[in-house]
Amino acid sequence: MTRPAAILLDAVLCPTGGPMCLRVKHLEIGLGERVAVIGHNGAGKSTLLRLLSGFVRPVAGQLVVLNRSLNKPLSAHDMRAFRCEVGQIMQNLHPVERLTVLENVLIGCLGRTRGWRGLTRCYPPIEVKAAEAALASVGLMKQAETRTDALSGGERQKVALARLLMQRPRLILADEPTAALDPVAAREVCQLLVQASAGATLISVVHNPELLPLLADRVIGMKQGCIAFDLPIAAVDESCLDALYKRNEVPRIKPVSRQSQATDNNHTQSCLT
């Protein structure tokens, strides 16, 4: 790979919430790459993202993100500087409800705004202009002065995207950004996300295979805490996905009663689709 690496994982071991461990022998993602991570529930996708955002630390191995080693805890100052460069967008990344849309977007520039302006929400005019431009590019300019609790789910996600534009991060981590949206809104949010990540590295976790070509040119499949495949988007086909989501590989819990079995089946179904 000719591009410099934005992310480098070497022999990383990290406990997940469940019984498994995330084990990554080697993973390198270059600057400006667009990568999608797929896999069944509990495969370690979210843990991988949390590793990359510095939320958890590996118990073993090398982890370098944007030239910063995250093996040791960063100082508060370094952590804030690191967070400025990493933009996150999630299914449950809520805006602050009582603030207006514009104020929520301006939160994106808090990382580089110091002093009283960041505390009193009196941002410098240049940042306000930038925020308005960001809102215009996601098509929410009309609602700039509305309070965010009056917005729909898709609009809220667009506010989060505008905030991301405002933040200008070098690495964007998107954890199921479209999970709560209808197909049309999901598609729109994905397109905006790709536009927003121009020049930055975009790593997204998605469940819907239809969105893969929109979001990524490289797909990493995860299974049981390990990387099952790492292919360019053109090489990913139905058989790959079938192998990844194979039904009998899903860890089964012995049903306790009829009811729990029913929910277990539903769960399996939702994993498959």
Partner 1 sequence: MWHRVSRVLVGRLGFLTLTLLYASLVAGCLATLIAQDELSLGRRPLENLVRTASEFARPSFLDVWFGNPHLEYRSDDGTVLRVENRQAVETHYLQGLASATWTTFRIATLGSLLGAVLALPLGVLTARNLAAPMPVRLLAKGLLDVARSIHTLVFGLVLVGIVGLGSTAGILAIAFHSMGTYGKFFAEAIETLDMAAIEAVRSVGASPTQVFFNAVWPAVLPQFVSSHLYIWEFNIRDSTILGVIGAGGLGLLITEATSLFQWGRLSTVLIVIVLLVSSFDALSRRIRKALS
Task: Report the distance separating Cα 161 and Cα 89, nearest Å.
Answer: 7
- Among 2, 4, 19, 92, which residue interacts with partner 1 (rule: CB under 8 A)? 92
Contacts of 220 (CB under 8 A, 6+ apart): 27, 35, 36, 37, 38, 227, 229, 230
Residue 53 touching partner 1 (CB under 8 A): yes
Task: Report the distance separating Cα 16 and Cα 28, nearest Å.
Answer: 21
Part of the chain binding partner 1 (CB under 8 A), chosen from 8-16, 108-116, 209-217, 221-229:
108-116
Angle at 23 between CA 17 and CA 29, to 5 degrees: 110
**Nearest to residue 169, comparing CAs of 56, 89, 248, 100?**
89
- Tokens 């539903």 belong to residue: 266
Residue 243 touching partner 1 (CB under 8 A): no
Q: Which tokens is 42 given? A: 């509990």
Draw the binding track, 20-49, toward partner 1 (x: CB under 8 A; -: no contact). ------------------------------
- Among 14, 70, 86, 101, which residue interacts with partner 1 (rule: CB under 8 A)? 86
Residue 273 touching partner 1 (CB under 8 A): no
Q: What beta strand segments (E) does the chain contain?
A: 5-15, 21-30, 34-39, 60-65, 68-69, 86-90, 171-175, 201-205, 218-223, 226-232
Task: Report the distance separating Cα 88 and Cα 164, nearest Å.
Answer: 8
CA distances 27 to 51, 64, 139, 193, 244, Å, are 13, 11, 36, 23, 18
Part of the chain binding partner 1 (CB under 8 A), chosen from 5-13, 36-44, 86-94, 227-235:
86-94
Kindly tell me which of 239 and 259 has the beta carbon lying closer to partner 1. 259
Q: How far is the CB of 116 from partner 1 (least distance, A)?
A: 10
- Among 1, 19, 237, 258, which residue interacts with partner 1 (rule: CB under 8 A)? 258
Q: How far is the CB of 21 from partner 1 (least distance, A)?
A: 25
Q: How far is the CB of 231 from partner 1 (least distance, A)?
A: 30
The DSSP letter of residue 181 is S
Residue 94 touching partner 1 (CB under 8 A): yes
Q: How far is the CB of 120 from partner 1 (least distance, A)?
A: 7
Q: How far is the CB of 111 from partner 1 (least distance, A)?
A: 3
Residue 257 touching partner 1 (CB under 8 A): yes
Question: For residue 249, with 0-12 CB atoms within 10 Å meaning exposed, 13-18 middle and 19 or more buried, which class applies?
Answer: middle
Residue 79 half-sphere exposure, CB side, CA atoms within 13 Å? 11
Number of residues located near partner 1, criterion CB under 8 A: 34
Residue 98 touching partner 1 (CB under 8 A): yes
Q: How far is the CB of 59 from partner 1 (least distance, A)?
A: 23
Q: Which residues bind partner 1 (CB under 8 A)?
A: 53, 80-88, 92-99, 107-111, 113, 118-121, 160, 163, 167, 257-259
